[in-house]
Structure 1
Amino acid sequence: MDETSGGDGYREWPSRFGQAVVWTRTVRAQDAGMPVLPDGCIDLLWVGGQLVIAGPDTRAFRPRAAVGTRYVGIRFFPGTAPALLGVPADELRDRRIELADVWSSGTVRRLSEELGEAGDPASALERIALRRAAEVSPPDPVLRRVVTALDAGWSVGATADAAGLSARLLHRRSLAAFGYGPKTLARVLRMQRALAAARRGVSFADTAAATGFADQAHLAREVRDLTGMPLGQVLTRSGAAASERSGSLSTVI
């Protein structure tokens, strides 16, 4: 597998699902409570014997998990999970809910038993997603074009034109597919591009110029607005929990 790993025991690799990555993480004392930054993705998690959906975030999320907690997850490309889960993304925005709140309790109980008995829960979770994908209609391919355009820095107007949608229809479909409108998704994706550049050692000024911000001050304001933390603090304190999700789009786009 083409795996990447982090210092906190985080590992991820491309999913056979095609528009997702599979990942695992064990919480350590030094990184407990590390924030997870917005990235437009939705995750299906197996943690503490429960199947949990992590919806798309608009702010940094700080999980409360005991040291030693083991996470197994599959992180879906923006716009992919709603068709799979059968629930609009805006109903999941900034929420962590049990899968049993969306699917029947009997179905979730059977899946939980399957995962609990699996020698490799990550592979088992991936198989569950693949089975589900075979049962439902695939996501509208226009959604992927929308994400690709926005992640490339296109304006919302240009993205709507390229997708053959009016601005109003793009907004409505974005809420259901991504959890928020295209402007917010564009801001999230741009922030992730900027943080990835800054982590590679690019100066803040050059990062801002290369990723579509007016200047370094604009970059700092956006990061604070989307994460609740100053830019420098995001880079030093979010650590692997931030990089966990920030690399996902480049893996699956």
Structure 2
Amino acid sequence: MRALRRAGAALWAAWSFLTILPPACPRPPGDEEPSAALAFFPLVGAVVGALAGGAVLLASRFAPPPLVAVVAVGAPLALTGALHFDGLLDASDGAFAPRTPERRREIMRDSRVGSFAVVTGVLVLLAFYACALSLTPLRLALALIVAGAAGRAAAVLAVVRYPYGREHGAGRDLHGRAAWPAVAMGLVLALAAAALGSWRGIAALLAALAAGAALAELVARRLGGTLTGDAYGFCEQFAELAALLAFVVR
């Protein structure tokens, strides 16, 4: 029973952290390790993808494909409060600035949007839109589920592979004694979601993990061997895009 309460508290924490939707129940009591929530990041991502996929299927009954693609791009952003996309923008501005690692981390905390963020954000949104427009509504709905889980799985791996680069921040609590066991469970859940797409889903998960790992290493080198919450969002968005591309390529 205690294990179930801890799992419920971890799922509650993951849902509250990753989405703007109110949890279906009050927070369960318990003194769970905050990093245990990592286990359920891929599951929450799959649910966000499923909700976005439902919106896509509904829109496809009334709207032309270009508008359906807009729904596919916009629904996950709306459901998550653009959490990961905001990290993508901040990390793009800071990590690739011609400055020292310390100055880059300071730039990432600046709320103003610079040219790196604008260019990266526009290109990523266009890539998401192009992928969505290339798939049938049913296939797109499935791809959103797999990509949602795969992107969060890649972010979870980035969390545990690199030290946190700030004294304070939303991502610091994710670094705890429960992190690696939570990662193992999260990868199992991501694999279960990927299996919905058969071999294409598995390929999408592998593509997402590879893209996330490569970009996490790139950003970490720019930030002096550390990552921050913004960097997690950067990795998640590109990993999600890699998963969608796996559904598009022939």
Normalised by the shorter chain, which TM-score bucket? under 0.3
The structure where strand makes up a greater share of residues is: 1
Q: Of the two structures, which has the highest relative contact order with CA contacts closer than 8 Å and spacing of 6 or more?
A: 2
Q: State the TM-score, normalized to the length of structure 2.
A: 0.25
